[in-house]
Amino acid sequence: MLYDSLTVQEVVDTESSAEFLKEATKLATSRELENIAQRLEMKRGMFAELLAPERLASLTEDEFVLLLDHVFSIRRKARRLLRLISVESFRQRTQELLYGEEDVGDRFERFVTLFEGSLDERRSINLASELLHFHDPDKHWLWTNWIWDPETGSGALPMVVQEGIVIEGKSSAERYRNVGAALRLVNEVGHAQNISGNTMGMLGTNLLLACVHAVYMYTVFRLKLSDEFNRILPELPELVERVLGVRGLEVVASG
């Protein structure tokens, strides 16, 4: 398997990860970050419930829209997408993606290919990844263009792995597998536990990488844009909520 011959230290840039973490905690309070972690848990629960086999078989258009409203790059196109391909077609494609018998990478690639003409490849990849990941975060990982964009080579993941680590691939299936192998090692380092409160595993790693992305954006925008544009840039917690698709999910106070 990819990276099997390498140690975590040879793949993950722990120093960079720690620096990004340090900067993120200057821009957001621990309460704000824990609140986002709770929203990720809520998103996971919602996806798991609506995408369970028996529930998926009868999901309505409004319920599909509810799901897609929490996929950052899709939410504004949800109803248009469902009208282009029909609810029944979307349901069938989603069932094959989540519950097909082939290797998950092959199912992932087929799902992406089926949306040609309806969605651009970047959004199709984001959608496939979100459906798989939030349906079952223990088995599948999140790959969006803000985590890694193969066209530009940019994203949060390249910023926390060692220089020279290759996450490319000849197909969407291969790239999906390679991203997963790298993310599992990033998760193993454990920095996510320091930023995500009580959210562990890949959900915590999602939050870590979203913070890396947000810190990078803040750095670039502050260097390149005027004070006027800086004033309209969302605060880090809001930016992280948006890219993770949890903006609007309300956390119920305990106690």
- The tokens describing 228, both together, are 């006027």
Which of helix, strand or coil describes residue 161? strand
Alpha-carbon gap, residue 177 to 166, rounded angstroms: 12
**C-beta neighbour count of 37 within 10 angstroms:** 24
Q: Which of 135, 146, 139 is nearest to 67 (CA)?
A: 135
pLDDT score of 51? 97
Whether the CB-CB separation of 44 and 244 falls below 8 Å is answered with no
**Low-confidence residues of the chain, pLDDT below 70?**
1-9, 190-200, 222-232, 250-255
- The tokens describing 98, both together, are 């989540």
Q: 148-168: string of b/e by CB count within 10 Å (b at 16+)?
A: bebeeeebbbbbbbeeebebe
Q: What are phi and psi of 12, to 5 degrees?
A: -95, 130
Can you state the percent helix, strand and coil of the chain, rounding each to 5? 65, 0, 35
pLDDT score of 219? 82
pLDDT score of 16? 85
Read off the pLDDT of residues 192-230 as tens digits, 9 standing for 90 and up.
555 545 566 889 899 989 999 999 988 877 655 666 555
